[in-house]
Amino acid sequence: MIWCSASQGVPVSTSEPRNTKSPRLDFLEIQPLPTDKDPVPDKPVTAEKRETAESMAVRQRDISISEFFSKNRHLLGFDNPRKALLTTVKEAVDNSLDACEEAGILPTLKVEIHQLEEERFRVCIEDNGPGIVKAQIPRIFGRLLYGSKFHTLKQARGQQGIGISAAGMYGLLTTGKSIAVTSRTGSGKPAHYYEIQIDTRKNRPQVITDKVVDWEHSHGTRVEIELIGTYKKGRHSVDDYIRQTAIANPHCEILFSVPGCDTPLHLQRASTTLPPEPRSIKPHPYGVELGVLIRMMKESSTRQLSAFLQRDFSRVSSRVAQEICREASLKPTANPRSIAANEVERLFKAINTVKIMNPATNCLSPIHEEQILAGLKKEIEAEFYTAITRSPAVYRGNPFQIEVGLAYGGSLPADELVDLMRFANRVPLQYQQSACAITKAVLGIDWRSYGLSQSKGALPIGPIMLFVHMASAWVPFTSESKEAVAAYPEIMRELRLALQECGRKLATHIRAHRRAAEEAKKKSYIEKYIPHIGIALREILGFSEKSENDLVGTLKDVLERSRSK
Amino acid sequence: MIWCSASQGVPVSTSEPRNTKSPRLDFLEIQPLPTDKDPVPDKPVTAEKRETAESMAVRQRDISISEFFSKNRHLLGFDNPRKALLTTVKEAVDNSLDACEEAGILPTLKVEIHQLEEERFRVCIEDNGPGIVKAQIPRIFGRLLYGSKFHTLKQARGQQGIGISAAGMYGLLTTGKSIAVTSRTGSGKPAHYYEIQIDTRKNRPQVITDKVVDWEHSHGTRVEIELIGTYKKGRHSVDDYIRQTAIANPHCEILFSVPGCDTPLHLQRASTTLPPEPRSIKPHPYGVELGVLIRMMKESSTRQLSAFLQRDFSRVSSRVAQEICREASLKPTANPRSIAANEVERLFKAINTVKIMNPATNCLSPIHEEQILAGLKKEIEAEFYTAITRSPAVYRGNPFQIEVGLAYGGSLPADELVDLMRFANRVPLQYQQSACAITKAVLGIDWRSYGLSQSKGALPIGPIMLFVHMASAWVPFTSESKEAVAAYPEIMRELRLALQECGRKLATHIRAHRRAAEEAKKKSYIEKYIPHIGIALREILGFSEKSENDLVGTLKDVLERSRSK
């Protein structure tokens, strides 16, 4: 077998052993190699020539991002009618909450789902946010990859500027109807009403209607989308999403009307305090890559390397900048735009050898232990609750923070897989559970050591509701539909530590609970016999009834004291 | 509780019951609703106003697709150094194989991985394909979403025109080095050498070097990328990918050199016949959506509705076109560009009521049962093999075909989870196993009824290697990194049927095997006593040794005949 072991030649990491089930390679017979002169046969070996470089070139062309996503709509969460309805509501609600919070407004949302035909719905989401400037309305709702959050490093629900225009595009594709937007930026301003269709060939908005309307609200935005969908209750439902959103966003008020229900559901604010507004930060030097560093230096407005490092990165003081330059053997006064390629590489290596403070974490806004506990306690009748908010950590230069809540026992079913609620930047994640770093972290823990049962490769079984939240300036989702978090090692580590901490607390509770139960059982046995001892002693020693009662009382006292230690 | 039951008002589908673990909603107190006049509070309720519509508008802007993917590179399979190396090889190999097959050339590939530093590699992939026309080289390697396969409906490995430019972009980001491409389209033509860097802000190529070079090959393409990566053997390794590629592409020859190995591995062709070239097809009417239909009609070059239906769709004969028009109450001679919105909707509904032949399936090129069996038999020492190629089916108008192979027993370990090899359009899928429709289908089958053991929510346990292939004109991957297939109901159904068919064959084998084993056990018991019967009879009846031997022989004969029925 020619497959070489790693021990020959250059050292190669082989820490992961070859899977024992890996089939053999030796069936692939070893043949004398073609000579170096002609390793590639000179001409087509078989078959009629079907295509040439020229005939292929004719068909090679640009693909617009909207064409791409309209064909790959499952990437955005429009795989099926049921998910499409949920995704549409979700994208609009996420945007509304982000806008309200950015403007310092306590969010009040109206979410309406009107059923037009069996599979045809009109979704309306209205907020009391700051509204949208007229010129931006068509771009925001009629163009994929357009937005304000992509180039900013801070915690937000939206990231990429795709979601709501994709929902509008899906509506257009399935029903031919425009997305309708009403928006007003203040009481002195007019309310604008737009009907917009995305031109998928160009990824540009086509404005169908543009007029000023009367609107009873002084500021806010209302989005209406008609689409093919399915409305169902249960797991992965819009109802579930709205309920979980209310749990993770206690400062938010939601009026929610669904088909088949006359009165809208009114989810009250549980808190009138807005979460502290996360601040946007500059990239951290540890997260930067060589290629990005080269581009940043080319594009920098600074004239000196030291100033570049201090101004374009976070956590680089004058002292740190000097140290980096010294390590890289570069002058702090050098012009960043005229540094040679090999010098940039030295700079890059130097950055990673100098100790730099962790990124600022005021770009994060975690939910916090008390709020998680409050949410769980309101939610679930259990006998034991615990919650952990880990300190912020960093992956690829991005700060993030993991929080875990756990409810155990009580009304939760004891013989089912644990119920896992996943959140990212306060947004409930509904689909792709198995692909998510959160799920992988839960699966990777040996829950049997915390007193639960668990089969190989499966979630543990027990009366447990797990709440896991990742807050980050940039959540690395596994797809644009933002349903699962990618498993970066740093994230997995924090998840594991948080879950283990909750697990240990749970184990202590389960053990104590078991001991207490056994204790109580023993006690009840002994208690049962005390009156009989009283009776026997009275008969043998001729005690009065009072002495007997005293004795029984004393014995019970002693039992109480000795057994409750 | 105000949450209404579905029985009130409009009928709503509730086939999926509310999850029993779903927490209660009644903690959310019901309050009098705000009046209709003012459902949204008139002004900000708390906090200083932090942002306004105007201040937000300043930051709202375009995001280029390359910026998007460079920040979201895990979507493309560049999550970590190890996966990045695999993805780079994979994208280049996929392109090479596609190009060779399209040009009718038996592919010979050279795959070289050179280790430069501990985590720095230079990957070179060379093919004997048709080459690339000079003008197209920078676009194909320096621009995301550029290619020939996106707008064509036929089975191909590449689909979206992202892969190889993304690999080049990753190399540039992590090492600052250009992607280097050498290509030649024929012996009379010059070989062009390019060094290209993608400008991520604009998603456009920057040509660093462009020259004519001497090249020993008359046609083909060589791609070189320097990148940060990790080379490891074992599961998810490049070695595994190359091996599985050879299995699913027996017509392909690969020379593979890896770090730490002096002689390249030579994977020989197992067949000198190219798979039949899949033909590209027009979209099928059943898969079209209202919005797409509207656009197609607007853009059609035909003047008559009937001609439009016949020319722009597959499987629409003149008779079918007439029938659709009649169902929609539209004139077959109407101009498709001047049909009103509500008329298009009628046409759309009519299409789905008329019986139309399934799409042509010559756009598919399955591997076929014999080839799968041959691959498995070469691969694995097992006692039982089976394979199924299902007839083509259709999801969202796209034809697809499912194939399953299974090897059981022999050298496979009996007490581990089954080993699942997944393929899409002959490309092995390495990551995201749990998110894949293939895995979900395997999990969804009750393997215990086929004689295997299986825990809740886990793969079955047993000495089994499963090979599952999906061939399609458009594989719906769950992400751009093409690691998992999306779970469309039609795909899940075909997967289930194919797996069940293999399962039943396996069950028959296991049962027969078990019966045979028990039979053999009984036989061996009886056989043990026959000589003793002979001895006893000789002693009692005074037999000669010959009679005894005859008797023993006869008894053995009888046993053989009666027990082997």
Q: Which of A28-37, A119-128, A337-346, B520-529 has the lowest average pLDDT?
A: A28-37
For the cut 70, the answer to whether the pLDDT of residue B33 exceeds it is: no
Q: Do B145 and A62 touch (CB under 8 A)?
A: yes
What are the φ/ψ torsions at residue B346 (nearest 5 degrees)?
-60, -45
- Token pair 């937005």 is found at A147
Give the count of Cβ contacts less than 8 A between chain A and B.
475
> What is the pLDDT, as a whole number, of residue A565?
52
> What is the pLDDT, as a whole number, of residue B529?
80
What residues of B are in contact with residue A292 (Cβ under 8 Å)?
Answer: 70, 173
Interval A340-358 mean pLDDT: 90
Which distant-in-sequence residues (6+ apart) come within 8 Å of A178 by Cβ? Answer: A168, A172, A195, A196, A197, A208, A209
Q: Which of B37-51, B73-87, B337-351, B479-493 has the lowest average pLDDT?
A: B37-51
How far apart are the C-alpha atoms of A140 and A145, rounded to whole Å? Answer: 9
Q: How many residues in total does chain A contain?
A: 565
For the cut 70, the answer to whether the pLDDT of residue B565 exceeds it is: no
How far apart are the C-alpha atoms of A16 and B236, rounded to whole Å? Answer: 10
Q: Token pair of A264, please?
A: 């809208």
- Tell me the sheet residues that pair with A229: none
Q: Which of A12-16, A376-380, B281-285 has the lowest average pLDDT?
A: A12-16
Best of A28, A298, A467 to disrupt the B interface by mutation (most B CBs within 10 Å)?
A28
Tell me: domain A369-510, CATH 3.30.230.10, correct? yes
> What is the pLDDT, as a whole number, of residue A33?
39
User: Could you report the per-residue pLDDT of A402-450, keeping only the tens digit for each?
Assistant: 999 999 998 898 888 999 999 999 999 988 888 899 999 999 999 999 9
Q: Do A71 and B474 touch (CB under 8 A)?
A: yes
How far apart are the C-alpha atoms of B565 and B553, rounded to whole Å? Answer: 19
> What is the pLDDT, as a whole number, of residue B14?
39
Interval A525-531 mean pLDDT: 79
For the cut 80, the answer to whether the pLDDT of residue B484 exceeds it is: yes
Tell me the pLDDT band of B116, cut-offs 50, 70 and 90: very high
> What is the pLDDT, as a whole number, of residue B554?
84
For A347, counting Cβ atoms within 10 Å of its Cβ (0-12 exposed, 13-18 middle, 19+ buried), the class is buried
User: Could you report the per-residue pLDDT of B292-346, keeping only the tens digit for each?
Assistant: 898 889 888 899 999 999 999 989 999 999 999 999 999 999 999 888 888 998 9
Higher local confidence (pLDDT), A492 or B244: A492
How far apart are the C-alpha atoms of A429 and A484, rounded to whole Å? Answer: 7
How far apart are the C-alpha atoms of A376 and A467, rounded to whole Å? Answer: 8
Q: Do B478 and A479 touch (CB under 8 A)?
A: yes
3-state SS string for B121-160: EEEEEEECCCCCCCCHHHHHHCCCCEECCCCCECCCCCCC
How many other C-beta atoms lie within 10 A of the C-beta of residue A340?
Answer: 8
Q: Do B115 and A488 touch (CB under 8 A)?
A: no
Closest CA to A21 of B360, B528, B397, B381: B381
Which distant-in-sequence residues (6+ apart) come within 8 Å of B425 by Cβ? Answer: B155, B156, B157, B470, B471, B472, B475
For the cut 70, the answer to whether the pLDDT of residue B124 exceeds it is: yes
How far apart are the C-alpha atoms of B477 and B484, rounded to whole Å? Answer: 6
* Facing A103 at nearest CB: one of B17, B49, B486: B49
Higher local confidence (pLDDT), A302 or B563: A302
Q: Do B71 and A135 touch (CB under 8 A)?
A: no
Query: β-strand A220-228 against A179-184: which pairing, if any?
Result: antiparallel
Closest-CA distance of chain A to residue B287, Å: 11
> What is the pLDDT, as a whole number, of residue A563?
61
> What is the pLDDT, as a whole number, of residue B522?
79
| Domain B290-351 class, CATH top level | mainly alpha
Q: Do B28 and A294 touch (CB under 8 A)?
A: no
Average pLDDT, chain B: 85
How far apart are the C-alpha atoms of B430 and B218, rounded to whole Å? Answer: 34
The residue in chain B having the minimum alpha-carbon distance to the alpha carbon of residue A199 is B295
For the cut 80, the answer to whether the pLDDT of residue B521 exceeds it is: no
Which distant-in-sequence residues (6+ apart) come within 8 Å of B353 by Cβ? Answer: B327
- Dihedral of CA B138/B69/B71/B484: which sign? negative
Q: Do B465 and A23 touch (CB under 8 A)?
A: yes
What residues of A are in contact with residue B4 (Cβ under 8 Å)?
Answer: 258, 260-263
- Token pair 């009417």 is found at B285
Q: Where along chain A do its domains lie?
A: 73-267, 290-351, 369-510, 519-564
How far apart are the C-alpha atoms of A517 and A523, rounded to whole Å? Answer: 10
Question: Would you give the DSSP letter of residue B218?
Answer: S
- Token pair 């938010």 is found at A252
CB B197 within 8 A of CB B172: yes
For the cut 70, the answer to whether the pLDDT of residue B48 exceeds it is: no
What residues of A are in contact with residue B288 (Cβ under 8 Å)?
Answer: none
CB B538 within 8 A of CB B550: no
Interval B230-245 mean pLDDT: 89
Tell me the pLDDT band of B26, cut-offs 50, 70 and 90: very low
For B308, counting Cβ atoms within 10 Å of its Cβ (0-12 exposed, 13-18 middle, 19+ buried), the class is buried
> What is the pLDDT, as a whole number, of residue A247?
82
Interval A334-346 mean pLDDT: 89
Closest CA to B259 of B234, B232, B237: B232
Q: Which of A101-115, A465-479, B4-18 has the lowest average pLDDT?
A: B4-18
Q: Longest C-alpha distance within chain B, in Å? A: 118
Q: Do B235 and A19 touch (CB under 8 A)?
A: yes
Closest CA to A231 of A126, A76, A74, A115: A115
Interval B57-66 mean pLDDT: 79
Average pLDDT, chain A: 85
What residues of A are in contact with residue B265 (Cβ under 8 Å)?
Answer: 2-3, 25, 28
Closest CA to B252 of B372, B365, B107: B107
Which distant-in-sequence residues (6+ apart) come within 8 Å of A525 by Cβ? Answer: none
For the cut 50, the answer to whether the pLDDT of residue B32 exceeds it is: no
Q: Do B486 and A74 touch (CB under 8 A)?
A: yes
Best of B342, B479, B482, B491 to disrupt the A interface by mutation (most A CBs within 10 Å)?
B479
Higher local confidence (pLDDT), A178 or B352: A178
User: Could you report the per-residue pLDDT of A41-80, keeping only the tens digit for each?
Assistant: 434 444 444 788 888 777 777 788 888 888 888 888 888 8
Q: Which of A48-62, A126-140, B497-511 has the lowest average pLDDT?
A: A48-62
Highest mean pLDDT among B58-62, B177-181, B275-279, B449-453: B177-181
Highest mean pLDDT among B271-275, B323-327, B515-519: B323-327
For the cut 60, the answer to whether the pLDDT of residue A176 exceeds it is: yes
Q: Do A291 and B173 touch (CB under 8 A)?
A: yes
* Facing B243 at nearest CB: one of A25, A344, A488: A25
For the cut 80, the answer to whether the pLDDT of residue B27 exceeds it is: no
How far apart are the C-alpha atoms of A56 and B146, rounded to whole Å? Answer: 13
* Facing B103 at nearest CB: one of A49, A273, A277: A49
Interval B441-456 mean pLDDT: 91
For B414: left if phi > 0, alpha if psi spans -120 to 50, otherwise beta; the answer is alpha
Quote the Cα angle for A289-A295-A297, to 5°: 100
For the cut 60, the answer to whether the pLDDT of residue B31 exceeds it is: no
Closest-CA distance of chain A to residue B234, Å: 4
Higher local confidence (pLDDT), B523 or A336: A336
Q: Do A152 and B59 touch (CB under 8 A)?
A: yes
- Token pair 């929510």 is found at B457
> What is the pLDDT, as a whole number, of residue B291?
85
Q: Which of A188-192, B369-373, B502-506 has the lowest average pLDDT?
A: B369-373
Q: Token pair of A163, please?
A: 């979601």
Query: β-strand A419-424 against A220-228: which pairing, if any?
Result: unpaired
Distances (CA, A) of B350 to B151, B324, B335, B343, B346: 26, 6, 17, 10, 6
How far apart are the C-alpha atoms of A264 and A177, rounded to whole Å? Answer: 26
Tell me the pLDDT band of A363, cut-offs 50, 70 and 90: confident
CATH of A73-267, one of 3.40.50.10710, 3.40.50.300, 3.40.50.280, 3.30.565.10: 3.30.565.10
Task: Give the side-chain half-sphere CA count within 13 A for A9.
Answer: 15
> What is the pLDDT, as a whole number, of residue A42?
39
Q: What percent of chain A has pLDDT over 70?
A: 90
Best of A56, A62, A296 to disrupt the B interface by mutation (most B CBs within 10 Å)?
A56
Per DSSP, chain B holds a count of helices (H) and strands (E) of 14, 18
Q: Token pair of B496, please?
A: 């289930």
Quote the Cα angle for B219-B222-B225, to 5°: 170
The residue in chain A having the minimum alpha-carbon distance to the alpha carbon of residue B132 is A53
Q: Which of B50-59, B130-139, B418-427, B509-518 has the lowest average pLDDT?
A: B50-59
What residues of B are in contact with residue A108 (Cβ under 8 Å)?
Answer: 39-41
For the cut 50, the answer to whether the pLDDT of residue A556 exceeds it is: yes
CB A229 within 8 A of CB A171: no
What residues of A are in contact with residue B419 (Cβ under 8 Å)?
Answer: 19, 21
User: Could you report the per-residue pLDDT of A366-397, keeping only the tens digit for each?
Assistant: 999 988 888 788 768 899 999 999 998 888 77
What residues of B are in contact with residue A175 (Cβ under 8 Å)?
Answer: 290-291
Interval A193-217 mean pLDDT: 94
The residue in chain A having the minimum alpha-carbon distance to the alpha carbon of residue B272 is A46
Q: To 10 degrees, what angle do helices B163-175 and A290-299 make?
A: 80
